[in-house]
Amino acid sequence: MDNPNIQDAFAELFAWCRAHNFAGHDPFDALNSRVFEATPLKRSRRARLAWTQLVKHSPLNLRSIGLVTASRNSKGMALFALAALANYRRTKTNETEKEARQLLNDLLSMRLEGWSGAAWGYNFDWQSRVFFAPQGTPTIVPTAFAARAFIEAAQTFDDETFLKIARSTCDFILQDLRRSEETPTEVCFSYSPDTVNRIYNASLLAAETLAGVAALTREQELCRWAVRAARYVVNQQQENGSWVYGAEKNQAWIDNFHTAYLLTSLARVVAHCQIVHTSEFNEALQRGYRFWRRGFFLADGWPKYYHDELYPADAHAAATAIITLLELRERDREAMDLAQKIAHWSIRNLRDKRGFFYYQRRRFHTVRTAFMRWTEAWMLYALARLSEEERVEKSY
């Protein structure tokens, strides 16, 4: 069987996202329901969590019944901007440059006001298992991906304006984010200014941001903070090389994409902050990568959600895996091959003929919902980066 064309899949997905103005639904947007909002249940933590999980896991899309409107998500916009930047680097046309700059401007317009530095949040109230973040709360995950987009824009366009925006996110991290753990050698950044929690990939995304900015501004203090945050996460690694999601008892799961986040962010801290002892981080990175590489993928590229279960095969996991494999390809000469296999498998098994990607393939059915941030933005970013790297390979 011939492999599907990755650039064609990218172009068709980009066209589909443009046609929807980059706005859509999200697995966690249930609390945007006007029906739920009109009930007293909105004040109950348990009811908010139950409604969120019901809408997320239902085999039927309950959002139309619940009157959940489609909207733009700041993390999604950051991923779209990163995809457009990769597309511009590959094509170098006026049209692709214009599109990348427009998406960056759109992302900047979603910045939240009233904080020490640039910060972004989600477009919905979010009830997690351990905390509640009302819409408009700045959180580190969308902020870190926005920073990644502006760091890449500064490098791609050699434009100091974008770097200043990225540098401002460091002020938010250091002045507004709470620190749930702090010693002279370690620090764990919380998810938002209003919560105290220990979510490992979130804290490491803060470290990645600090390290990425420091690589361009040469601020050693930012790297020192990044290294302390990385050390905290490295010290939470389990014997088999894995990390659980967080420190609480109800956060003890291990999944594909959160592991991928950790590996990418840790690799970036190591790359950007070569000023202190990084051997401890390199060893942890290698152990974590081996666990992830061996446990989460089948030989044909099937992306598992959990290391010990075949189903579901998840488009978000597939896309984040492609990004992580490209980030760590210098450590694994077979990484590019696996990234291509995952992309080809996803195009064959999770792609709609209209160009978008389905959420998950489960044992007895496929959830065909299109989630703009969770699935489409991530997949667009992954296909753009893979197309970019394939072009680089062909030029040698």
pLDDT digits (tens, 9 = 90+) for 94-104: 999 999 999 99
Q: How confident is the model at residue 394 (pLDDT cuts 50, 70, 90)?
A: low
Q: Is the pLDDT reported for residue 143 higher than 80?
A: yes
Question: Which residue, among 37, 30, 26, 38, has the nearest Cα to 55 in the 3D structure?
Answer: 30
Q: Is the pLDDT reported for residue 56 higher than 90?
A: no
Instruction: Using DSSP, state whether 235 is helix, strand or coil.
Output: coil
Shared domain check, 45 and 150:
no
Question: Which residue, among 290, 289, 293, 148, has the nearest Cα to 207 in the 3D structure?
Answer: 148
Domain region containing 202: 6-25+74-395
Shared domain check, 206 and 110:
yes
Please count the structural domains in the chain: 2
Q: Give the tens place of pLDDT for each residue, 176-201.
A: 999 999 999 999 999 999 889 999 99
Q: CB within 8 A of 182, min separation 6: which ones? A: 188
Shared domain check, 210 and 85:
yes
Shared domain check, 79 and 195:
yes
Q: What is this structure's pTM? A: 0.95
Shared domain check, 128 and 58:
no
Q: Is the pLDDT reported for residue 313 higher than 90?
A: yes
Instruction: Name the percent of the chain in helix, strand, coil, to the closest 5.
Output: 60, 10, 35
Shared domain check, 134 and 56:
no
Shared domain check, 103 and 242:
yes
Instruction: Record the tokens describing residue 37, joined without a space.
Output: 């909002």
* Average pLDDT estimate for 255-267: 97
Alpha-carbon gap, residue 378 to 61, rounded angstroms? 21
Alpha-carbon gap, residue 216 to 223, rounded angstroms? 11
Helix axes 256-272, 279-295, angle to 10 degrees: 150
* CA max distance for the chain: 63
Shared domain check, 341 and 195:
yes
| 260 belongs to a structural domain | yes
| 1 belongs to a structural domain | no
Residue percentage of the chain with pLDDT more than 70: 97
Shared domain check, 47 and 104:
no
Cis omega (within 30 of 0) for bond into 4: no
CATH code: domain of residue 21: 1.50.10.10
Shared domain check, 244 and 264:
yes
- CA angle at residue 329 from 309 to 88, to 5 degrees? 105
Alpha-carbon gap, residue 4 to 83, rounded angstroms? 19
